Amino acid sequence: MGLAKRKLGKTGLEVSCLGFGTVKIGRNQEVKYPSGFSLPSDEEVSALIDQAKELGINFIDTAPAYGSSEQRLGRLLKDRQDWIICSKVGEEFTAGKSYYDFSAKHTQRSIERSLRDIGTDYLDIVLIHSDGQDCKILESSDCAETLLRLKAEGLIKAVGMSTKTVEGGMKAVEMLDLVMVTYNPSMQDDAIVIDHALALDKGILVKKALNSGHDCIAGDAVESSVGANFTERNLRFALDKEGVTSVIVGTINPKHLQENVEAVQ
């Protein structure tokens, strides 16, 4: 049984209901996981990508703020046309610290760099990587306008925002093609955003469905039945919510990748 694909609003894109998050292939500093980890080797990343594809995942989530993630995907991702790639703009991570720039000039440069690093001539999805001031970014910066222009030029297929506030999520649903929200049993504030997106036929991606491993006693080293039950409960919770297109889960553990797919099948 393959992994279900779902329509991403009106974008024309069909994405696997589970997406492969790539923070951990490029960055292990200043990340909000319960335990530390080493970056995987190129061989390990290649094997993970192959495994994800075999399991029916066609959706990869990356960002400039994920350290070397985009460059590694550029080196290691084969068959570009088989993948839906989501990148981001706005957040930069250098020398162990994040900073944000939502100007038109930076947005343009960021997209050009992502295209070059990933080794592609288009990005399927680009999200604004919010610093928490969602509404201010949407209302007072040129970021959304610049991305929509690049979409019109054919460099991007769909534009959205990874939001941090309910107000920002509601506004992004109205202005853009899709929104990425936090949604899990202990964080349900964005349910109203998902409902709004459903009403307007916009796409919804879910981040932190597993709450970065914090809800689970064993964190990212989930080996117990408690862990497996937790994963299944949280993934199903997100995917059973009407309006949710796909849940992004980042892992560098082949066993977890397999378990995540089994949990949603």
Q: 51 phi and psi, to 5 degrees?
A: -65, -45
Distance, CA of 197 to CA of 195 (rounded, Å): 5
250: nearest Cα among 237, 231, 226: 231
Please give the structure tokens belonging to residue 207: 């981040």
Please give the structure tokens belonging to residue 245: 């297109």
Q: 67 phi and psi, to 5 degrees?
A: 60, -125
Q: 114 phi and psi, to 5 degrees?
A: -60, -45
122 an active-site residue? Answer: no
Q: Do strands 91-94 and 97-100 pair parallel, antiparallel, or not at all (unpaired)? A: antiparallel
Residue among 33, 66, 99, 183 flagged as catalytic: 66
Please give the structure tokens belonging to residue 244: 């949710």
SS3 label, residue 67: coil
**Helix, strand, coil shares, percent, the chain, to 5:** 40, 20, 35
Distance, CA of 208 to CA of 225 (rounded, Å): 20
Q: Which helix (H) or strand (E) holds 86?
A: strand 84-89
Residues annotated as part of the active site? 66
